[in-house]
Amino acid sequence: MIDFIKIPNKMKKVLFRDDKGRKNIEKLTNTEISIEEDVKIEGESFNVYQAKHVLKAFGRGFLIKDALSLLDDDYGLEIIDLSKFMNSRNRIKVVKGRIIGKGGKTKELIEKYTQVKLSILGKTVSILGKWKNVDLGKEAVMMVIDGSSHTKLYKWLEQQYSVVRKW
């Protein structure tokens, strides 16, 4: 089977330069990856599906080593398209800034307390982690999108953390 995936040009360049990372994806998914206008994936259908999922996460800004966690069924990727919630570029920019927080504090706390990785790229916020934690991470991001104060978010995150630690 052959399939293609579009990833941003700057990520395509990284994938092209990072021969070791690309070869690692190929080895772990038993596929062949070539970089053309789109990224081409060849192999058995399930393996192509897995490689495509990993490359999608990489294209959204995650490190290859983090994206490879998607080969484990317990891990998932959630992509939130901010343009579905707001229609001006300026508003998207403001919300992305709020999700990142001053000096990256808010992003760091969401990642720490929900035990996920966040990537904010373009008009999307992507969440990578164990499925049960991805749901918490998404809820935290949605609180920011809905306009919750950082203080309220931080208190909520601390409450959730006691639940996450018990998992």
Q: Do β-strands 75-81 and 32-35 pair in parallel, antiparallel, or remain unpaired?
A: unpaired
What residue ranges of the chain are covered by domains with CATH 3.30.1370.10?
A: 2-71, 75-166
pLDDT of residue 15 exceeding 90, the answer is: no
Q: 128 CB contacts (<8 Å, ≥6 apart)?
A: 57, 62, 66, 67, 69, 70, 75, 76, 77, 116, 117, 118, 119, 134
Residue 159's pLDDT is 87
Neighbours of 82 (CB within 10 A): 19
**Residues 26 and 32: beta-carbon distance below 8 Å:** yes
Confidence bin at 144 (pLDDT 50/70/90): very high
Report the candidate in 47, 66, 58 with the shortest Cα–Cα distance to residue 3.
47
* CATH number among 3.40.50.300, 3.30.1370.10, 1.10.10.10, 2.60.120.560, domain 75-166: 3.30.1370.10
pLDDT tier for residue 165 given thresholds of 50, 70 and 90: low
- 2-71 CATH pick, 3.40.50.970, 3.30.1370.10, 3.30.360.10, 3.40.50.720: 3.30.1370.10
pLDDT of residue 54: 97
